[in-house]
Amino acid sequence: MVSPMAPSPRVEILARSGINTIPKEYVRPEEELKSIGDIFAEEKSMDGPQVPTIDLEAINSDDEEMRKKCHEELKQAAMEWGVMHLINHGIPKELVNRVKVAGREFFELPVEEKEKYANDQEAGNVQGYGSKLANNASGQLEWEDYFFHCVFPEEKRDLSIWPKNPADYIPATSEYAKQIRALATKVLSVLSLGLGLEHDRLEKEIGGMEDLTLQMKINYYPKCPQPELALGVEAHTDVSALTFILHNMVPGLQLFYKGNWVTAKCVPNSIIMHVGDTVEILSNGRYKSILHRGLVNKEKVRVSWAVFCEPPKEKIILRPLPETVSEAEPPCFPPRTFAQHIKHKLFKKSGDEDSLDGKKSSH
Ligand SMILES: O=C(O)CCC(=O)C(=O)O
Ligand SMILES: [Fe+2]
């Protein structure tokens, strides 16, 4: 009998095999296909709403007016979109470049080399090199391979499973994680103030320096012979508190905003930041966790580096903070641990293909 969890092939191998049509497991359902277009054409289009760009230059400025303006813009973008391009974020260009070069060099290794780092999802080992398992009745798959591992705090990392080749992978990724952690503190502080809370409140509520965990996922999207039929990442909201994303300047990310899919532009030297479900819950829905997905294309490999900042799985109960709740604004989310929230989402999805955690589906 074929196991329903049969390992799926590496998409990279499939892409290189010379096929002109993709296996049916990668073909999206009929209804969803209507919304999948050519990502290059869509990135060029200036029609309609655009993902906001937020300049963080003045985030800690002594000039009160400048600082307040920066905080207000960040807050508004988090309330209106829940996703934004951050510029002047303070992470040096050279460091970002080292992270990208190291990730790219790892993925340029032969698949046999990368398989040495393969994860074993069925055994519960999610860290390492992997591809999506066909874990529902439809057998639906995504057009990507990935590398996933914990990058912060240092004592929670398992360096033995990090790529040893290229040699700069560990130093570059470690330093980047440290700097993203510091950036997360700054952003959380602005979001706390934006809710009328003490600056360090959200940070504390999601575990602080000790318990907030950063997970890196390098998404590797090979060229796809039928990009109009597939998705690199299916529509989802991130469960994290915040997510920070770098990419190789190939378009792919789309956001579901006011009933339409909006394509994110490639903004030089920016980091894309998502508000995830965790901050949406704590803020009682004032900050949004936006539905998003990744398209693929025929011409260029796309790579993205997502860092998910996550609360501990069991230790904290996530619920709207009392200060965000009133008679007029009752709690929109029931109390759940992070683990329960993830489980609830998976359950909802497998039980009802048209519902994504109560949010509008992608089609
Ligand atoms: O590749 C991207 O830009 C987005 C990936 C993503 O949404 C994710 O890894 O959660
Ligand atoms: Fe995501």
Structural domain boundaries in the chain: 11-358
**Per-residue pLDDT tens for 80-98?**
999 999 999 999 999 999 9
**Both tokens assigned to 252:** 């792919």
Report residues whose beta carbon is within 6 angstroms of any ligand 1 atom.
Answer: 217, 219, 233, 238, 245, 247, 252-253, 292, 294, 304, 306
Per-residue pLDDT for 169 more than 70? yes
Tell me which CATH code domain 11-358 carries: 2.60.120.330
Q: Distance from the CA of 71 to the center of ligand 2, in angstroms?
A: 24
Q: What mean pLDDT is reported for the chain?
A: 94
pLDDT of residue 8: 67
The span from the CA of 107 to the CA of 301, in Å, is 11
**Per-residue pLDDT tens for 249-280?**
999 999 999 999 999 999 999 999 999 999 99
245 beta partners: 272, 306
Q: Which class for 199: exposed (0-12), middle (13-18), buried (19 or more C-beta within 10 A)?
A: middle
Q: Residues of the chain with pLDDT > 70: what percent?
A: 94
**Ligand 1 atom 1 nearest Cα:** 304
Half-sphere exposure of 342 (CA within 13 A, CB side): 12
- Which protein residues have a CB closer than 5 Å to ligand 2 (ion)? 238
Token pair 């989802």: residue = 236
pLDDT of residue 351: 60
Per-residue pLDDT for 117 more than 90? yes
pLDDT of residue 360: 33
Of the pLDDT bands very low, low, confident and very high (cuts 50, 70, 90), residue 195 is very high
pLDDT of residue 133: 84
Per-residue pLDDT for 68 more than 90? yes
pLDDT of residue 122: 87
Of the pLDDT bands very low, low, confident and very high (cuts 50, 70, 90), residue 7 is low
pLDDT of residue 362: 31
pTM equals 0.95
Of the pLDDT bands very low, low, confident and very high (cuts 50, 70, 90), residue 352 is low
Q: Which residues are catalytic?
A: 302
The span from the CA of 186 to the CA of 199, in Å, is 9
Cβ proximity of 198 and 192 under 8 Å: yes
